[in-house]
Protein backbone atom coordinates (compact mmCIF):
# COMPACT_ATOMS: atom_id res chain seq x y z
CA UNK A 1 0.00 0.00 0.00
CA UNK A 2 1.33 3.44 -0.99
CA UNK A 3 1.35 6.28 1.49
CA UNK A 4 2.98 9.66 1.78
CA UNK A 5 6.59 9.43 2.81
CA UNK A 6 6.29 11.79 5.78
CA UNK A 7 3.33 9.77 7.12
CA UNK A 8 5.25 6.50 6.86
CA UNK A 9 8.27 8.09 8.53
CA UNK A 10 6.17 9.48 11.37
CA UNK A 11 4.54 6.09 11.90
CA UNK A 12 7.96 4.52 12.12
CA UNK A 13 8.71 6.90 14.97
CA UNK A 14 11.25 9.12 13.27
CA UNK A 15 9.60 12.38 14.37
CA UNK A 16 6.35 14.31 13.91
CA UNK A 17 5.00 14.57 10.35
CA UNK A 18 5.97 18.23 10.28
CA UNK A 19 9.57 17.46 11.30
CA UNK A 20 9.69 14.59 8.79
CA UNK A 21 8.67 17.03 6.05
CA UNK A 22 11.63 19.19 7.00
CA UNK A 23 13.98 16.22 6.85
CA UNK A 24 12.69 15.42 3.36
CA UNK A 25 13.10 19.01 2.15
CA UNK A 26 16.61 19.09 3.58
CA UNK A 27 17.55 16.14 1.34
CA UNK A 28 18.26 13.88 4.30
CA UNK A 29 15.87 11.08 3.34
CA UNK A 30 16.49 8.28 0.88
CA UNK A 31 13.94 5.82 -0.44
CA UNK A 32 15.38 2.67 -1.98
CA UNK A 33 18.76 4.33 -2.19
CA UNK A 34 17.55 7.53 -3.92
CA UNK A 35 17.31 10.91 -2.18
CA UNK A 36 13.73 12.20 -2.16
CA UNK A 37 13.04 15.91 -1.68
CA UNK A 38 9.42 16.09 -2.89
CA UNK A 39 6.83 16.18 -0.14
CA UNK A 40 4.11 14.52 -2.23
CA UNK A 41 6.17 11.36 -2.77
CA UNK A 42 4.26 8.18 -2.03
CA UNK A 43 6.06 5.04 -0.98
CA UNK A 44 5.20 1.38 -0.71
CA UNK A 45 4.85 1.00 3.02
CA UNK A 46 5.64 -2.70 3.08
CA UNK A 47 8.62 -2.72 0.79
CA UNK A 48 10.30 0.68 0.73
CA UNK A 49 13.72 0.87 2.32
CA UNK A 50 14.01 4.29 3.96
CA UNK A 51 17.16 5.95 5.27
CA UNK A 52 17.39 9.16 7.25
CA UNK A 53 20.90 10.59 7.34
CA UNK A 54 22.02 7.24 5.93
CA UNK A 55 20.59 5.34 8.88
CA UNK A 56 18.05 2.72 7.88
CA UNK A 57 14.71 3.28 9.63
CA UNK A 58 12.70 0.55 7.94
CA UNK A 59 13.21 -3.11 8.55
CA UNK A 60 15.56 -2.39 11.40
CA UNK A 61 17.84 -5.31 11.11
CA UNK A 62 21.55 -5.10 10.73
CA UNK A 63 21.24 -6.90 7.38
CA UNK A 64 21.79 -5.00 4.16
CA UNK A 65 20.92 -6.23 0.67
CA UNK A 66 22.08 -4.34 -2.39
CA UNK A 67 21.67 -4.81 -6.12
CA UNK A 68 24.56 -3.25 -8.06
CA UNK A 69 25.05 -2.77 -11.78
CA UNK A 70 28.75 -3.58 -11.80
CA UNK A 71 30.84 -1.71 -14.34
CA UNK A 72 33.73 -3.31 -16.23
CA UNK A 73 37.06 -2.72 -14.48
CA UNK A 74 36.05 -3.65 -10.93
CA UNK A 75 36.86 -6.92 -9.23
CA UNK A 76 34.35 -8.77 -7.08
CA UNK A 77 36.90 -9.99 -4.55
CA UNK A 78 37.15 -7.92 -1.45
CA UNK A 79 40.88 -7.32 -1.92
CA UNK A 80 43.12 -7.37 -4.93
CA UNK A 81 46.84 -8.09 -5.08
CA UNK A 82 47.12 -5.60 -7.97
CA UNK A 83 45.21 -2.87 -6.13
CA UNK A 84 42.49 -2.65 -8.75
CA UNK A 85 39.19 -1.04 -7.76
CA UNK A 86 36.74 -3.42 -6.09
CA UNK A 87 32.93 -3.39 -6.20
CA UNK A 88 32.98 -2.34 -2.55
CA UNK A 89 34.40 1.03 -3.63
CA UNK A 90 31.09 1.64 -5.42
CA UNK A 91 28.94 1.21 -2.29
CA UNK A 92 31.27 2.71 0.30
CA UNK A 93 28.68 5.30 1.38
CA UNK A 94 26.44 2.67 2.97
CA UNK A 95 28.85 2.48 5.88
CA UNK A 96 28.40 -1.28 6.37
CA UNK A 97 30.75 -4.02 5.29
CA UNK A 98 29.02 -6.11 2.61
CA UNK A 99 30.25 -8.97 0.44
CA UNK A 100 29.47 -9.95 -3.14
CA UNK A 101 27.18 -12.95 -3.62
CA UNK A 102 29.08 -14.97 -6.19
CA UNK A 103 31.39 -13.36 -8.71
CA UNK A 104 31.56 -11.50 -11.95
CA UNK A 105 34.80 -11.26 -13.91
CA UNK A 106 36.79 -8.03 -13.94
CA UNK A 107 35.72 -7.55 -17.56
CA UNK A 108 32.04 -8.50 -17.02
CA UNK A 109 29.40 -5.96 -16.11
CA UNK A 110 25.87 -6.26 -14.77
CA UNK A 111 23.81 -7.51 -11.90
CA UNK A 112 25.61 -8.30 -8.67
CA UNK A 113 24.05 -8.76 -5.22
CA UNK A 114 25.97 -7.55 -2.18
CA UNK A 115 25.02 -8.34 1.39
CA UNK A 116 26.33 -8.85 4.88
CA UNK A 117 23.90 -11.76 5.32
CA UNK A 118 26.36 -14.63 5.27
CA UNK A 119 23.66 -17.31 5.67
CA UNK A 120 21.86 -16.12 2.59
CA UNK A 121 25.07 -15.90 0.57
CA UNK A 122 25.96 -19.45 1.53
CA UNK A 123 22.50 -20.75 0.61
CA UNK A 124 22.06 -19.13 -2.75
CA UNK A 125 25.58 -19.76 -3.99
CA UNK A 126 25.39 -23.45 -3.10
CA UNK A 127 25.55 -25.43 -6.38
CA UNK A 128 22.43 -27.44 -5.52
CA UNK A 129 20.22 -24.38 -5.90
CA UNK A 130 20.86 -23.93 -9.61
CA UNK A 131 19.67 -20.36 -9.75
CA UNK A 132 19.04 -19.21 -13.31
CA UNK A 133 21.36 -16.46 -14.52
CA UNK A 134 20.89 -14.62 -17.78
CA UNK A 135 23.64 -12.86 -19.70
CA UNK A 136 23.77 -10.79 -22.84
CA UNK A 137 27.00 -11.34 -24.74
CA UNK A 138 28.61 -9.97 -27.84
CA UNK A 139 30.67 -12.73 -29.39
CA UNK A 140 33.00 -12.90 -32.36
CA UNK A 141 31.76 -14.25 -35.67
CA UNK A 142 28.27 -15.33 -36.68
CA UNK A 143 26.77 -17.92 -34.33
CA UNK A 144 24.85 -20.57 -36.25
CA UNK A 145 21.44 -21.91 -35.21
CA UNK A 146 23.17 -25.25 -34.40
CA UNK A 147 24.63 -23.61 -31.32
CA UNK A 148 21.16 -23.51 -29.78
CA UNK A 149 20.96 -27.32 -29.73
CA UNK A 150 24.56 -27.66 -28.57
CA UNK A 151 23.87 -25.38 -25.59
CA UNK A 152 20.66 -27.28 -24.85
CA UNK A 153 22.58 -30.53 -24.48
CA UNK A 154 25.28 -29.06 -22.24
CA UNK A 155 28.85 -28.34 -23.28
CA UNK A 156 32.21 -29.75 -22.24
CA UNK A 157 34.38 -27.03 -20.80
CA UNK A 158 37.68 -28.50 -19.74
CA UNK A 159 36.73 -31.74 -17.96
CA UNK A 160 33.25 -30.63 -16.95
CA UNK A 161 29.94 -30.94 -18.79
CA UNK A 162 27.62 -28.03 -18.10
CA UNK A 163 23.95 -28.45 -17.34
CA UNK A 164 21.63 -27.72 -20.27
CA UNK A 165 21.79 -24.04 -21.11
CA UNK A 166 19.83 -21.73 -23.35
CA UNK A 167 21.28 -19.70 -26.18
CA UNK A 168 19.19 -17.21 -28.08
CA UNK A 169 20.47 -15.33 -31.12
CA UNK A 170 19.39 -11.71 -30.81
CA UNK A 171 21.16 -9.95 -33.61
CA UNK A 172 23.89 -10.41 -36.21
CA UNK A 173 26.48 -7.65 -36.44
CA UNK A 174 29.06 -7.10 -39.20
CA UNK A 175 31.54 -9.37 -37.51
CA UNK A 176 29.82 -10.60 -34.39
CA UNK A 177 26.60 -11.76 -32.83
CA UNK A 178 24.56 -10.57 -29.86
CA UNK A 179 23.26 -13.56 -27.90
CA UNK A 180 21.36 -14.12 -24.69
CA UNK A 181 22.64 -17.02 -22.64
CA UNK A 182 20.94 -18.59 -19.64
CA UNK A 183 22.88 -20.89 -17.35
CA UNK A 184 22.13 -22.58 -14.04
CA UNK A 185 25.60 -22.93 -12.62
CA UNK A 186 28.35 -20.54 -11.73
CA UNK A 187 31.63 -22.13 -12.79
CA UNK A 188 34.59 -19.84 -13.19
CA UNK A 189 34.29 -17.90 -16.49
CA UNK A 190 31.58 -20.31 -17.53
CA UNK A 191 29.89 -18.27 -20.25
CA UNK A 192 33.23 -17.32 -21.82
CA UNK A 193 34.36 -20.95 -21.79
CA UNK A 194 31.07 -22.21 -23.25
CA UNK A 195 31.31 -19.71 -26.10
CA UNK A 196 34.99 -20.55 -26.66
CA UNK A 197 33.98 -24.21 -26.89
CA UNK A 198 31.77 -23.47 -29.91
CA UNK A 199 34.43 -21.28 -31.52
CA UNK A 200 33.16 -17.82 -30.58
CA UNK A 201 35.09 -15.48 -28.35
CA UNK A 202 33.14 -13.35 -25.88
CA UNK A 203 33.91 -9.72 -26.61
CA UNK A 204 31.51 -8.17 -24.09
CA UNK A 205 29.46 -9.75 -21.31
CA UNK A 206 26.72 -8.40 -19.07
CA UNK A 207 24.60 -10.22 -16.48
CA UNK A 208 20.99 -9.15 -16.87
CA UNK A 209 19.24 -11.23 -14.21
CA UNK A 210 19.58 -13.68 -11.36
CA UNK A 211 16.36 -15.64 -11.01
CA UNK A 212 13.59 -13.04 -11.07
CA UNK A 213 15.88 -10.17 -9.98
CA UNK A 214 16.59 -7.95 -12.96
CA UNK A 215 18.81 -4.99 -13.74
CA UNK A 216 16.05 -3.13 -15.56
CA UNK A 217 16.98 0.54 -15.92
CA UNK A 218 19.62 0.70 -13.17
CA UNK A 219 22.58 2.50 -14.76
CA UNK A 220 26.12 1.14 -14.80
CA UNK A 221 27.83 1.84 -11.49
CA UNK A 222 24.54 2.53 -9.69
CA UNK A 223 23.03 0.46 -6.92
CA UNK A 224 19.81 0.22 -4.95
CA UNK A 225 18.56 -1.58 -1.85
CA UNK A 226 16.51 -4.69 -2.44
CA UNK A 227 12.93 -4.41 -1.19
CA UNK A 228 11.39 -6.91 1.22
CA UNK A 229 9.76 -8.96 -1.56
CA UNK A 230 13.11 -9.32 -3.30
CA UNK A 231 14.84 -10.34 -0.06
CA UNK A 232 12.13 -12.92 0.59
CA UNK A 233 12.54 -14.18 -2.95
CA UNK A 234 16.27 -14.72 -2.36
CA UNK A 235 15.47 -16.62 0.80
CA UNK A 236 12.98 -18.77 -1.11
CA UNK A 237 15.74 -19.70 -3.56
CA UNK A 238 17.92 -20.66 -0.63
CA UNK A 239 15.23 -23.02 0.55
CA UNK A 240 14.22 -21.26 3.73
N1 LIG B 1 30.47 -16.25 -16.99
C2 LIG B 1 31.64 -15.68 -17.32
O3 LIG B 1 32.34 -16.17 -18.19
N4 LIG B 1 32.01 -14.57 -16.66
C5 LIG B 1 31.26 -13.97 -15.72
O6 LIG B 1 31.66 -12.95 -15.17
C7 LIG B 1 30.04 -14.56 -15.40
C8 LIG B 1 29.66 -15.69 -16.04
Higher pLDDT, 186 or 27: 27
As separate numbers, helices (DSSP H) first and strands (DSSP E) second, the chain gives 6, 17
Output the pLDDT for position 240.
Answer: 47
**Which are the contacts of 87, defined by CB distance < 8 A and separation ≥ 6?**
68, 70, 74, 75, 76, 100, 112, 114
Is there a catalytic annotation at residue 105?
A: yes
Q: With a 6 A CB cut-off, is 104 part of the ligand 1 pocket?
A: yes
Contact (CB, 8 A) for 135 and 180: yes
Give the distance (Å) from ligand 1 centre to CA of residue 70.
Answer: 13
Going by CA atoms, what residue is nearest to atom 7 of ligand 1? 104
Hey, is 25 helix, strand or coil?
helix
C-alpha neighbours within 13 Å on the C-beta side of residue 139: 30
Among candidates 41, 211, 137, 93, which has minimal Cα distance to 151? 137
List all residues 6 or more positions away from 63 whose beta carbon is below 8 Å from its beta carbon: 115, 116, 117
CA of 109 from ligand 1 middle (Å) equals 9
Ligand 1 pocket residue status of 105, Cβ below 6 Å: yes
- Kindly tell me if the per-residue pLDDT of 59 is higher than 70: no
Q: How far is the CA of 201 from the centre of ligand 1 (A)?
A: 13
Confidence band of 239 (pLDDT split at 50, 70, 90): low
Q: What percent of the chain has pLDDT over 70?
A: 98
Per residue in 117-164, pLDDT (tens digit) is 888 888 888 777 778 999 999 999 999 999 999 999 999 998 899 999
Q: Is 189 in the pocket of ligand 1 (CB under 6 A)?
A: yes
Mean pLDDT of the chain: 91
Q: Which domains does the chain have, with CATH numbers?
A: 2-56 (3.10.290.10), 65-128+213-237 (3.30.70.580), 132-210 (3.30.70.1560)
d(CA 122, CA 134): 21
| Among 65, 89, 64, CA closest to 75 | 89
What number is the average pLDDT over the span 103-118? 94
Report pLDDT digits (tens) over 192-209: 999 999 999 999 999 999
Residue in 179, 196, 205 to alter for ligand 1 test, most ligand atoms within 8 A of Cβ: 205
DSSP 3-state helix, strand, coil percentages of the chain (rounded to 5)? Answer: 25, 30, 45
- Looking at residue 125, its pLDDT comes to 81
Which residue among the candidates 44, 105, 107, 196 is catalytic per the annotation? 105
Ligand 1 near 191 CB (within 6 A) = yes
Element (H, E) at 152: helix 146-153
CA of 136 to the centre of ligand 1 (A): 11
Amino acid sequence: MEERLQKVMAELGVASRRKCEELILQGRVKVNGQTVTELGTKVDKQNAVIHVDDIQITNKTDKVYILLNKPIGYITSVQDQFDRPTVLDLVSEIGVRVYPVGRLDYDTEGLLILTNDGDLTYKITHPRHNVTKTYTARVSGHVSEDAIEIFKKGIFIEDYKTAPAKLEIIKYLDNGTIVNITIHEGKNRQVRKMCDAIGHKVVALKRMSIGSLMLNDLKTGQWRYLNNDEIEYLYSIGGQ
